Structure 1
Amino acid sequence: MDLKLSTLLCLTLLFSTILNPALSELCNPKDKKVLLQIKKAFNNPYVLSSWDPETDCCDWYSVTCDSTTNRVNSLTLFSGGLSGQIPTQVGDLPYLETLEFHKQPNLTGPIQPSIAKLKRLKELRLSWTNISGSVPDFLSQLKNLTFLELSFNNLTGSIPSSLSQLPNLDALHLDRNKLTGHIPKSFGEFHGSVPDLYLSHNQLSGNIPTSLAKLDFNRIDFSRNKLEGDASMIFGLNKTTQIVDLSRNLLEFNLSKVEFSKSLISLDLNHNKITGGIPVGLTQVDLQFLNVSYNRLCGQIPVGGKLQSFDSSTYFHNRCLCGAPLPSCK
């Protein structure tokens, strides 16, 4: 081919690409169609004004495409601007790995069942919204989930025991809802990863399942519920648990008999019915935070470790606890 003709063809192709962006668009047309349907379902909000059918959807606000396949793999919609229910079309983005609706106070209705179709999903975050209804059982079908956050919503009902069937889960956030019933016994039977459990600020009741003794949780927050009875199964010398918050429940067990791992850095047991004394073993733990106030503890606070580095508010309002930093024992 003549060199001039070849150059002319190249320039023609270049200018046509510039003039017609569709020729250079990376976004998969099926994904683009679905995203435009989602925008329409939300009544074309201003926050999605960049979702222009004439531009590449891989460049749209809150949308990310895979660098190899160019399929939409992330949809993260933060901070207001959306109203109504989660559109059913979110389930029609088959390559989605991250789906987040966060700080969307006008987002209402139940968790969309079509989300169950997103088999590649690794992170699901629906938080700080006004979605309601139950925590759906179908979430257990998303076997690739590593992070599930449904906190700061209006979810009601019980926690589905099937969530323990998620083999790759690293963190489960169900805190700050209106959940009732018991913590599922199956939460002592997570296979594969042992997730951080955040169940605080709900209306959960009953005993903490003894099955939790079998697992080595890194972080547990069951605070501000109506949990009763023993919680000692959470602890153990050979565990690697770092943070435990069981405050503001109705727990009642003998703290003297509990053995704590040296990995523990934060322990909050305030506002319960815990009896016994502060175990000497806690002097061997490098605690950064401790609160055992408003319980029924008695005896002298052991000397050593970090126990005297906390002020009196850590220990006050117990039956007969004494010794530094509280008044000396008589």
Structure 2
Amino acid sequence: MATNMIMIPFCFLLMLLSPALSQRCNPQDKKVLLQIKKDFNNPYLLASWNPDTDCCDWYTVTCDTKTHRVNSLVILSSVPNTNLSGHIPPSVGDLPYLENLEFHKLSNLTGPVQPTIAKLARLKTLTISWTNVSGPVPAFLAQLKNLSFLDLSFNSLSGTIPPSLYQLPNLLSLRLDRNRLTGPIPASFGSFRSNPDLYLSHNQLSGTIPTSLKNLNSNRIDLSRNKFEGDASVLFGPNKTTQIVDLSRNSFAFDLSKVQFPRSLISLDLNHNKIYGSIPAGLTAVDFLQGFNVSYNRLCGQIPVGGRLQSFGADSYFHNKCLCGSPLPSCN
């Protein structure tokens, strides 16, 4: 009986303490998240952000399992026209342990890339995509030395690409595609130490490819649908390990017959340019070529026999000056 009398107050004490024990979220992190919600005008998308509950359990929020500091904030919408609107709140820069920050498919998100993001020294992934964020690609992003993935695709960004981005030592992927960017590719991009994948397609970029890019050995390069011109052969080389290259729908003009391609190529798209010369026999040694298109150029001569070149349809070779041989009509 005495034991039971002792246990009842002890259990009651545990009940009183249990809410406090369950609150893993750092109080300062929670305060910042509630400010972000307020700055977004308390959207329904963030309805789970209840001040009376543990913020580590909130929708779109992830905490480190040991420190319980917020390390990931992913705000996205699976439906169009969500009621989340406005600019990216300055308070996002006040989550010092953040490693992953993502704003995705938020059509009412506007304004510039928030400058306080530069304070997030631990950030590894930054995604702001499929929004109406505008203004320039900010040079201050070069301060995020731990950044591995930078995705600013499908926005309304304008201006030139900042040369300082090459200073990101761990960058593996740079996505600036589907914006309104102008100007050239910075020559400094030849100094990337990490050889990031480059996605710059569907912009209004122009000029020639810097010769410094001969030092770049990216797995994927997509420069399609811009206004580039001149020689793009520096992107290739027998010692590179590049797998996918898309240069289509530009005004590139160079002698294809002089280009040495890496045997690692999986896909090569050069359609709708001003490329001349003949298709080099070296392409027959590319064993794993799965995509190939040189249509709408100024190529001439016989298509080399061998390798994978005859496995592609005639539409991969159409509208050239005088290409012939399988899969096109035979040469006379």
The answer to whether the 8 Å contact 1:88/1:114 transfers is yes
What SS does the aligned partner of 1:143 have?
coil
Structure 1: gaps of 5 or more residues: none
Residue 28 of structure 2: aligned partner: 30
- 1:17-51 residue CA offsets vs partner (Å, 9 max, x unmatched): 45xx2442000000000000000001100011000
In 1: Cα distance, 2:5 partner to 2:271 partner: 82
What one-letter code is carried by the residue in structure 1 that aligns with 2:46? L
Q: 8 Å contact 1:22–1:56 — kept in the other structure?
A: no
Q: Counterparts of 1:76-155 in structure 2 under 5 Å?
A: 76-79=74-77, 80-155=82-157
Aligned 1:288-307 pairs, distance under 5 A: 288-307=290-309
Once the two structures are TM-superposed, the CA of residue 140 in structure 1 deviates from its matched residue by 0.3
Alignment correspondent of 1:260: 261
Alignment partner of 1:135: what SS? coil
2: distance between equivalents of 1:291 and 1:179?
Answer: 26
- Indicate which of 162, 165, 168 corresponds to 2:164: 162
Q: Which amino acid aligns with 1:141?
A: Q
CA deviation after TM superposition for structure 1 residue 9, in Å: 4.7
Q: Deviations over 1:158-188 (max 9, x none)?
A: 0000000000000000000000011000000
Q: Which string of whole-angstrom CA distances, capped at 9 and with x for unpartnered residues, describes residues 199-224 of structure 1?
A: 00001110011101012111100000
Tell me what 2:224 maps to.
223
After the TM superposition, which parts of structure 1 deviate over 4 Å for at least 4 consecutive aligned residues?
A: 2-6
SS at match of 1:299: strand
Per the normalisation by structure 2, the TM-score is 0.96
- Structure 2 unaligned regions, length at least 5: none
Percent sequence identity is 71
SS in 1 for 2:51: coil
Measure how far apart 1:5 and its partner are.
6.4
AA in 1 matched with 2:247: L
Alignment CA distance shift 1:284-1:10 (3 Å) = farther
Q: TM-score, normalised by structure 1?
A: 0.97
Residue 308 (str. 1) matches residue 310 (str. 2) = yes
SS at match of 2:7: helix
Confirm or deny: 8 A CA contact 1:164 1:189 kept in the other structure. Answer: yes
Structure 1 Cα separation of the partners of residues 5 and 264 of structure 2: 73
Could you say what secondary structure the match of 1:77 adopts? strand
Q: Distance in 2 between matches of 1:185 and 1:274?
A: 23
Q: Return the offset for 1:12.
A: 2.0
Inter-partner Cα distance in structure 2 for 1:12 and 1:95: 36
